């Protein structure tokens, strides 16, 4: 892990640079520009009712099955992706950026939908891999990730400007860190489950989402809207799907057979 180093030295210019860095770091962390919207907060509160609240148990089992499918837009008028207007850093990142909120193919397949099992109580161990969120060209990358409680999220800064990662779950701050130097990375542990929104205080157009669970049975749809959740113990489960623009919905209950594959689509 890399940390902010105090700039010291006998020269006046080094002293000024150090003072400026400290001031900008503090301003980045206290800026109110990244408050979570009431609409998104309402969606999160509704969604949290469906996330697993009980203790998840790791068990030994054989014959795990799979759930596969696609996320598809079923309406006639496909939403167009939005354009974000930059209020700073135009010399580095340009005046506008694509929001990447509605990434929908000509066949109406939707990217960045999280599909998850809402009521599974036992199964395989969660992966230990960290979530990595980078600041690249004035945007968080990736936009949507899946994390697991107890693991860490690594907040990186590839840009040569000060960024900030301010994480919220249900409107409450989970962590708020400045990443002022290019090449820095700072770790934070994911201790709570829920949909965590990341904002950058100095750059209010930036956002990302980390869907934090206490079990490994979730997936993010790819560029063709596909998802696959594997190694599921045989049984009956509620499947749900979430998307930034379309919200959270139930796909119904599915029965997973040992060594079998169940197909289900998420229609929005």
Q: Which of 143, 154, 173 is nearest to 244 (CA)?
A: 143
Maximum CA extent, the chain: 71
Reading the block at residue 146, the tokens are 């899946």
Residues 6+ positions from 184 with CB-CB distance below 8 Å: 2, 3, 4, 156, 157
Give 49's contacts (C-beta < 8 A, 6+ positions apart).
none
Query: Integer distance in angstroms from the first to the last C-alpha of the chain?
Result: 41
- Cβ-based neighbour number of residue 85 at 10 Å: 9
pTM of the model as a whole: 0.84
The domains of the chain, with CATH numbers, are 12-267 (2.60.40.420)
**Per-position pLDDT tens, the chain of length 268:** 443 333 334 444 444 445 445 445 555 555 544 455 554 555 555 555 566 567 899 999 999 999 999 999 999 999 999 999 999 999 999 999 999 999 999 999 999 999 999 999 999 999 999 999 999 999 999 999 999 999 999 999 999 999 999 999 999 999 999 999 999 999 999 999 999 999 999 999 999 999 999 999 999 999 999 999 999 999 999 999 999 999 999 999 999 999 999 999 999 9
| CA atoms within 13 Å, Cβ hemisphere of 208 | 28
- pLDDT of amino acid 215: 97
Nearest-angstrom CA–CA distance, 91 and 23: 22
How far from 260 is each of 84, 229, 256, CA to CA, in Å?
44, 12, 7
d(CA 71, CA 194) in angstroms, rounded, equals 21
- How are the residues of the chain apportioned to helix, strand and coil, as percentages rounded to the nearest 5? 15, 45, 45
User: Rounded to an integer, what distance in angstroms lies between the CA atom of residue 74 and that of residue 165?
Assistant: 35
- The answer to whether 237 and 84 have CB atoms below 8 angstroms apart is no
pLDDT at 25: 54
pLDDT at res. 37: 54
Tell the residue number behind the tokens 């199964």, with chain if given.
123
Per-residue pLDDT at 29: 56
Q: How many CA atoms lie within 13 A of 51 on its CB side?
A: 22
Residue with tokens 């020269």: 11
User: What was the pLDDT predicted at 51?
Assistant: 63
Q: Mapping DSSP to helix (H, G, I), strand (E, B) and coil, where does residue 13 land?
A: helix
| Tens-place pLDDT, residues 42-84 | 555 555 556 656 789 999 999 999 999 999 999 999 999 999 9
Spatial separation of the C-alpha atoms in residues 147 and 210, rounded to whole Å: 6
What does the pLDDT look like over 230-257, one tens digit per residue? 999 999 999 999 999 999 999 999 999 9
Q: What is the DSSP string of 53-85?
A: -SPPEE---S--EEEEEEEE--SSSPPPPPEEE
Enclosing H/E stretch for 92: helix 90-93
SS3 87: coil
pLDDT at 85: 98
| DSSP label at residue 34 | G
Q: Phi/psi at 30 (nearest 5 deg)?
A: -105, -5
Q: State the pLDDT at residue 2.
A: 40
Q: How far apart are CA 228 and CA 260, in angstroms?
A: 13
């Amino acid at each position: 892990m890399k940390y902010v180093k105090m700039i010291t030295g006998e020269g006046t210019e080094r002293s000024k640079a150090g003072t400026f860095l400290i001031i900008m770091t503090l301003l980045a962390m206290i800026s109110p520009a990244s408050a979570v919207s009431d609409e998104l907060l309402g969606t999160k509160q509704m969604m949290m009712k469906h996330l697993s609240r009980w203790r998840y148990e790791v068990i030994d089992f054989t014959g795990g099955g799979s759930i596969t499918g696609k996320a598809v837009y079923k309406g006639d008028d496909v939403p167009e992706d939005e354009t974000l207007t930059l209020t700073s850093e135009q010399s580095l990142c340009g005046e506008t950026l694509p929001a990447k909120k509605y990434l929908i193919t000509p066949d109406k397949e939707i990217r960045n939908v999280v599909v998850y099992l809402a009521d599974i109580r036992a199964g395989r161990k969660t992966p230990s891999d960290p979530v990595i969120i980078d600041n690249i060209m004035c945007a968080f990358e990736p936009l949507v990730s899946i994390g697991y409680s107890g693991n860490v999220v690594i907040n990186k800064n590839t840009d040569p400007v000060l960024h900030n990662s301010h994480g919220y779950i249900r409107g409450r701050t989970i962590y708020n860190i400045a990443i002022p130097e290019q090449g820095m990375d700072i770790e934070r542990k994911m201790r709570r489950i829920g949909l965590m929104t990341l904002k950058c205080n100095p750059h209010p157009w930036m956002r990302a989402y980390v869907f934090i669970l206490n079990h490994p049975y979730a997936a993010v749809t790819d560029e063709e809207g596909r998802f696959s959740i594997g190694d599921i113990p045989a049984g009956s489960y509620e499947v749900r799907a979430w998307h930034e623009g379309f919200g959270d919905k139930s796909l119904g209950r599915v029965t997973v057979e040992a060594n079998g594959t169940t197909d289900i689509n998420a229609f929005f």
